[in-house]
Amino acid sequence: MNWTSFDTWIVVVGALCAVACALPGCFLVLRKMSMMGDAISHAVLPGLAIAFLITGTRASVPMFFGAAIAGVLTALFTQWIARFGNVDRGAAMGIVFTTLFAVGLILIRQAADHVDLDPGCVLYGAIELTPLDTVGQTGIPRAALVNGGALLGNLLIILVLFKEFRLGAFDASLADTLGFSSQFLHYLLMTMVAMTTVAAFESVGSIIVIAMLIVPPATALLLTRKLPTMLLIASLTAVLSAILGHLGAIQIPRWFGMEATTTSGMIALAAGVLFTLAWLFSPSEGLVTKARRHRSEDLSLPESTA
């Protein structure tokens, strides 16, 4: 294998992005709103398109705010439709994000067809090209800085508001009666997800974002019953997915005599594999572990009365 500094940067960008997603993702999973990440990451598309139409550039700052606003609107519309339209939240989410995604596609096709704002690129990203776009003379890819910034922001917010986030996710009514607005906490989390999605967008595409918001936290939840440990394990799973994903993208197709495949897809796949391993072998929850324990109990001790 021919590992270059290029490959190192690709893994670093992937890992930064993955951890940035996994942190707020833990709270999405715990709030049983996993699909909200999916919804927001699709629905930011019209935000990107409108920001582009207004400013006429692909500069990051307006794009960033356009998408963040669209992301928060997704959460808001979902809430409204669920409450006033008398539909369940999953359906409301489905309505909102497909509609916004469609609006985004139409806007891009109609008004921005001749420019380089490619829907395909938005979905799959181009993580392999990120090392080419460096900041000044530093040699650091811009994507590493952007995703690193998102990671730092999420980490700071979660560290500072850990107690409040946990309270809001565990018992929103209690949060309200104690004077911690559960609405505020909800929209803060949605904003974090939207911002993270946008940061990751250009460089790595939304496949990674959707996978990393959910899969590492779900994996961590199989391995621990402590929230701080869960955040840590989710982050480690995210980093591991990035490393294994890129290695797999270079190496696995070669075994079959093919060209390297897409790293984004492989990172998401690696996360899925790690989840499966945790599901099978988790010390407390794993299928295989449980079956084994069962068998050894049958052989040795009479079942203790729980």
Partner 1 sequence: MSQMFKKLSPKGDAAGEDLSSHPQDVPLAIHDLTVAYHRKPVLWDVDLDIPEGKLVGIVGPNGAGKSTLIKACLDLIPRASGEIGVYGKPYKEQRHLVAYVPQRESVDWDFPVSALDVVAMGAYRRLGWFRRVTREEAKKAHDCLTQVGIGHLADRQISQLSGGQQQRVFLARALMQDAELYLMDEPFAAVDAATEEAIVSLLRSLSEQGKTCLVVHHDLATVTTYFDWLVLLNMRVVAAGPSETTFTRENLQKTYGGKLSLLEKAAEALRHTID
Cα-only R_g, the chain: 21
Q: How far apart are CA 118 and CA 254, in angstroms?
A: 29
Q: Residue 221 forms beta bridges with which residues?
A: none
Q: What is the closest distance, in whole angstroms, from the C-beta atom of residue 162 to partner 1 in the complex?
A: 8
Q: Which tokens sit at 7?
A: 């490959």
Q: Kindly tell me which of 11 and 30 has the beta carbon lying closer to partner 1.
A: 30
Q: Kindly tell me which of 3 and 184 has the beta carbon lying closer to partner 1.
A: 184
Q: Kindly tell me which of 4 and 86 has the beta carbon lying closer to partner 1.
A: 86
Phi-psi region of 141 (alpha: psi -120 to 50; beta: other; left: phi over 0): beta
Q: What is the closest distance, in whole angstroms, from the C-beta atom of residue 157 to partner 1 in the complex?
A: 11
Q: What is the closest distance, in whole angstroms, from the C-beta atom of residue 176 to partner 1 in the complex?
A: 6
Q: What is the closest distance, in whole angstroms, from the C-beta atom of residue 228 to partner 1 in the complex?
A: 9
Q: What is the closest distance, in whole angstroms, from the C-beta atom of residue 50 to partner 1 in the complex?
A: 33
Q: Kindly tell me which of 99 and 176 has the beta carbon lying closer to partner 1.
A: 176
Q: What is the closest distance, in whole angstroms, from the C-beta atom of residue 173 to partner 1 in the complex?
A: 5
Q: Kindly tell me which of 89 and 166 has the beta carbon lying closer to partner 1.
A: 166
Q: How many CB atoms lie within 10 A of CB 109?
A: 11
Q: Kindly tell me which of 232 and 260 has the beta carbon lying closer to partner 1.
A: 232
Q: What is the closest distance, in whole angstroms, from the C-beta atom of residue 86 to partner 1 in the complex?
A: 7
The footprint of partner 1 (CB under 8 A) covers 30, 32, 86, 160-164, 166-167, 169-171, 173-174, 176-180, 221, 224-227, 229-230
- Quick one: angle between helices 182-204 and 162-170, nearest 10? 110
Distance set, CA 176 to CA 89, 182, 183, 210 (Å): 21, 6, 9, 30
Residues of 218-255 as b/e, b for ≥16 C-beta within 10 angstroms? Answer: bbbbbbbeebeebbebbbbbbbbbbbbbbbbbbeeeee
Residue 283 and residue 289 in contact, taking contact as beta carbons nearer than 8 Å: yes
Amino acid identity at 282: S
Q: Kindly tell me which of 59 and 160 has the beta carbon lying closer to partner 1.
A: 160
